[in-house]
Structure 1
């Protein structure tokens, strides 16, 4: 029978070789480990980029770090080949509502295993599968965001999960040759255009010590009040109970609503606005009680000047006219929330001329674009959010409808929305109430405080002053009366003491000799 040769201990050969990966050999490695550079990091600073620029090879750098390097070395820090500032291509990465980089067409989030490419002529970054499906296979060589034409050779690979050899940090030229660190290079003095660019993008240095600096406002927790407190908790207690990474919390606290969430859930009044166009003035009423998100978005964008000189880029007779895109292409626009927001269908219908409704690309994709109906369009019910209607100026809408358009429904004569004036803003009043700056609320609070002070003063006047039970206890006694009462009390006390002394029985002497009398012991 064979014998088991496995030992119950580590042999010398196992300890000194790669067998079983034992610790004796673990620390004696012949080469450096592979370290992959994340796609969202600068290849020079190895930190997340803020102003991305790339080369034709797909190497991404942060403008603030690569310009000083080029100024000093004139080479590509990764490959060591000559590189000029004019060779850098600006990139446009897109983020979702959670702040993650994603494809702007399919909205798929980029990961370390995503094949990412950029269009060299425009700089827009997409997932390769999007370009392959919509450009390569259809042979439609136009940028999906701007319709700008490009060629296959203009595609730049930012990240290829099947070829990661060029993303090995330890193989970078400045790492292998131990060149100056990026933070040291950023200290060189730049001149001319480079200095202006660096001054524009470089963050300002704090003049006070870090310990004395205020906390970043985005990280300061909001204080909950009776107005902006949610009907659900902030989950801090549950998180502390289930996660060791959270601080201990023993009480549930109500979550704090943001200003937008609070306003869109409390405002029930209608807003009114005036749209000034190059054809005339249109007055509109906004249904803040039915479509609060769309109305708040419209009001805030109007007050911020977002709609100033925005064209009506699409007009179809007997249907509608569309606007709200500053680019005038129908593909742009951004909501006040920083991302698209949900639809609001609450019983309203496109049943008349002059209805204001949100334009979208599908479900819950509302931004800044909206349209005005030329006639009833009930087939749009349940697809587009109605948030207002025209109250005055339908004759201006008639003039706009008569403008001729080309084959793409674009007006041949410019139709411009010069400005929007908000006449009545219920959101501002609600926000002032939340912050405690509303004039009417302050006036009511002052009146309530005055009534309370008056009531307390009356209570002090009619309260018992002496604490006694005799007649006149509610009237304050004078100083003379109080002193006489005290004197009278002392006299009464002394006479009582004298009578008590006089009436006291004196001790009687016992008969007999007082010597050696121990009877009283």
Structure 2
């Protein structure tokens, strides 16, 4: 076996040591890159977390400050008009969403449930009022007729003028929700009258209904009533 010269052994030793130094340098360099990446990720996460926290705070404050505005926008998204399709023609009503919001909400809810489909006008008092409903309250009619005799002496206000839409009862029982349309100014003395709309089209239809023949108890001799109600945002 050939003997390796000392000079050759020295060269081989230097080569091994050089390769070891390159390997350590590479490891250190890679470790540095990994460390920088980790630091970058940590910094980015902290920045994102702080930005999100500030954004949620601003959003919360904004929502809190704009609660009333959101409520108002929902209120004004409600239909502002109702078209009563009657057996004599159409009557367009402007609803008082601001003045009578609770009654208007109840009216709109009943419209969506079809409460007014087929509702008859069960009493027609000429030069005074047209009454409609699924139930007939004879006591209420006596009250209406007794006040009619003296309505000229009792005070009136713009909300109780002619061609206004109102109701006499607000109860959980939907059958108790009746409608009336005035055909002349009516007195303010009855605090159970709730006006929530006015006729803006179809006054001639109201007057035609007012002219139907009635018996001595103000009941129409021929059926007349509401076929259905169409709600509209604009007209």
TM-score under structure 1 normalisation? Answer: 0.26
Superposition pairs of residues 208-287 of structure 1, within 5 angstroms: 267=75, 271-287=80-96
Contact 2:130 2:182 in 1 (8 A): yes
Q: If each structure's helix is expressed as a fraction of its own residues, which one has the higher value?
A: 2
SS at match of 2:219: coil
Partner of 1:411: 220
Deviation at 1:279, TM superposition (A): 0.4
Q: 267-276 vs 368-377, which deviates more? A: 267-276
Alignment length, in residue pairs? Answer: 148
SS at match of 1:357: strand
Match of 1:355 among 146, 164, 172: 164
Deviation at 1:361, TM superposition (A): 8.9
Tell me: CA distance 1:366–1:307, structure 2 relative to 1, closer, same or farther (3 Å). Answer: closer
Compute the RMSD of aligned alpha carbons: 3.4
Tell me: CA distance 1:265–1:410, structure 2 relative to 1, closer, same or farther (3 Å). Answer: farther
Of structures 1 and 2, the one scoring higher in RCO (CA 8 A, sep 6+) is 2
Tell me: CA distance 1:263–1:419, structure 2 relative to 1, closer, same or farther (3 Å). Answer: farther
What residue ranges of structure 1 are gaps of 5+ in the alignment?
1-225, 232-261, 332-346, 426-521
What residue ranges of structure 2 are gaps of 5+ in the alignment?
1-62, 139-156
Superposition pairs of residues 363-442 of structure 1, within 5 angstroms: 367-380=176-189, 382-424=191-233
SS at match of 1:276: strand
SS at match of 1:412: coil
Deviation at 1:383, TM superposition (A): 3.5
SS at match of 2:206: helix
Deviation at 1:330, TM superposition (A): 3.6
For residues 318-348 of structure 1, give each alpha carbon's deviation from its aligned partner in whole angstroms, at most 9, with x where no partner exists: 11011132x4x348xxxxxxxxxxxxxxx86
Partner of 2:150: none
Partner of 1:430: none
Partner of 2:6: none
Contact 1:274 1:284 in 2 (8 A): yes
SS at match of 1:349: helix
Deviation at 1:266, TM superposition (A): 6.5
Contact 1:273 1:284 in 2 (8 A): yes
Tell me: CA distance 1:330–1:382, structure 2 relative to 1, closer, same or farther (3 Å). Answer: closer
Match of 1:312 among 121, 145, 148: 121
Deviation at 1:359, TM superposition (A): 1.4
TM-score under structure 2 normalisation? Answer: 0.54
Tell me: CA distance 1:348–1:266, structure 2 relative to 1, closer, same or farther (3 Å). Answer: farther
Deviation at 1:270, TM superposition (A): 6.8
Deviation at 1:392, TM superposition (A): 0.2
For residues 221-251 of structure 1, give each alpha carbon's deviation from its aligned partner in whole angstroms, at most 9, with x where no partner exists: xxxxx68xx99xxxxxxxxxxxxxxxxxxxx
SS at match of 1:300: helix
Superposition pairs of residues 87-486 of structure 1, within 5 angstroms: 267=75, 271-325=80-134, 327=135, 329-330=136-137, 349-351=159-161, 353-360=162-169, 367-380=176-189, 382-424=191-233
Deviation at 1:380, TM superposition (A): 4.7
SS at match of 1:273: strand
